[in-house]
Amino acid sequence: MTRAYVHGYDASEQQRLQDQAASLVDLLHSDTTYEAGALVLEAGCGVGAQTVTLAANSPHARIVSIDVSQPSLAQARDAVDAAGLTNVEFRHADIFALPFAKETFDHVFVCFVLEHLVDPAGALERLKHVLKPGGAITVIEGDHGSAYHFPRSDFARRAIACQVELQARAGGNALVGREVYPLLASAGFADVRVSPRMVYVDGSRPHLIEGFTKKTFTAMIEGVREPALDAGLMTAADFDRGIADLYRAAADDGVFCYTFFKGVARKARALPPDFSRACVPADTEEKKSFADLQRSGGAQN
């Protein structure tokens, strides 16, 4: 269900994931903590960029972090060890073949993973299967359609569109942020709430200029230069102009905006059998007794 991972696994991409996480810690994590003793599945942990924050913010919860990439897992282990955290266990596992029993976890956390999957709905089904009733799932995704900047540039817009197109060709969806609500709702989760988290960057926020506009977003678009040119999506000159214009938006008088979508939902508890019988709507009862009356010849038209 996972095709070629569009960002790849090279060193610059691993650094980009760390920069992304560092610049977004408060925005994405400030309202996520897990209770003491909770068992939490982090699906698609990558190099551990979110794992370190998850584990540090919930020191008395136990985090099980999985990924399909062994090299990423090794880096994630190093990052967690370097942070002195002891409440994380790493497993090499695929979301579509989870090696856990039904209803193992109290909570599930997934960040920047659905965008790479051919079947994000199927992934949510599998994650729901291993989540306990009453437990929460947290899903965080970006949406490249939410990116805008000043000065405006058609070249930059087209370079961003190259990333969207290449990710789609690899079976993913760089516009999945807008689908977090419908995906969670159609997977049968209850109490679905999605909050958009906008990153707004201007000259007064130099840490975000470096950490987000340059090292996270523009570095990601720059990373698809070769495949975009190979696919004939843009000429080299136009693509390079687009990247230059994104860096221009990172100047002191430039502006860059991007929105992430954080969804939190619950796996509903099953109703006890008697309760569901007691909840037969009144009009159903009426229809039943009307049908009974007809059968017994008691109803007259």
Write down the least CB distance from residue 36 to ligand SAM, Å: 24
Residue with tokens 């221009």: 248
Write down the least CB distance from residue 72 to ligand SAM, Å: 5
Question: Which residue, 66 or 233, is less far from ligand SAM as judged by CB?
Answer: 66
Q: List the structure tokens of 93.
A: 């596992």
Question: Which residue, 153 or 163, is less far from ligand SAM as judged by CB?
Answer: 163
Closest CA relative to residue 66, chosen from 2, 134, 151: 2
Kindly tell me the burial class for residue 300, based on how many C-beta atoms sit within 10 Å of its own C-beta (0-12, 13-18, 19 or more).
exposed
Question: Which residue, 166 or 234, is less far from ligand SAM as judged by CB?
Answer: 166
Question: Which residue, 95 or 250, is less far from ligand SAM as judged by CB?
Answer: 95
Q: List the structure tokens of 276.
A: 């569901």
Name every residue whose Cβ is closer than 8 Å to that of residue 257 and which is 6 or more positions away in sequence: 146, 147, 148, 149, 198, 199, 200, 201
Gyration radius from the chain CA atoms? 23
Question: Which residue, 234 or 264, is less far from ligand SAM as judged by CB?
Answer: 264
Question: Which residue, 13 or 202, is less far from ligand SAM as judged by CB?
Answer: 13
Kindly tell me the burial class for residue 171, based on how many C-beta atoms sit within 10 Å of its own C-beta (0-12, 13-18, 19 or more).
middle
Write down the least CB distance from residue 17 to ligand SAM, Å: 4
The amino acid present at 257, given as its one-letter code, is C
> Which residues of the shown chain bind ligand SAM in the complex (CB under 6 A)?
2, 5, 17, 21, 44-46, 49-50, 66-69, 72, 94-96, 111-113, 116
Write down the least CB distance from residue 280 to ligand SAM, Å: 41
Write down the least CB distance from residue 21 to ligand SAM, Å: 6
CA distance 29 to 33: 8
Helices (H) and strands (E) in the chain, counts: 12, 8
Please give the residue whose beta carbon sits closest to ligand SAM in the complex. Answer: 46
Write down the least CB distance from residue 115 to ligand SAM, Å: 7
Write down the least CB distance from residue 111 to ligand SAM, Å: 4
Q: List the structure tokens of 199.
A: 């990153």
Write down the least CB distance from residue 78 to ligand SAM, Å: 15
Question: Which residue, 66 or 264, is less far from ligand SAM as judged by CB?
Answer: 66
Question: Which residue, 51 or 153, is less far from ligand SAM as judged by CB?
Answer: 51
The amino acid present at 213, given as its one-letter code, is T
DSSP string, 32-66: ----TT-EEEEES-TTSTTHHHHHHHSTTSEEEEE
Closest CA relative to residue 111, chosen from 57, 160, 41: 41
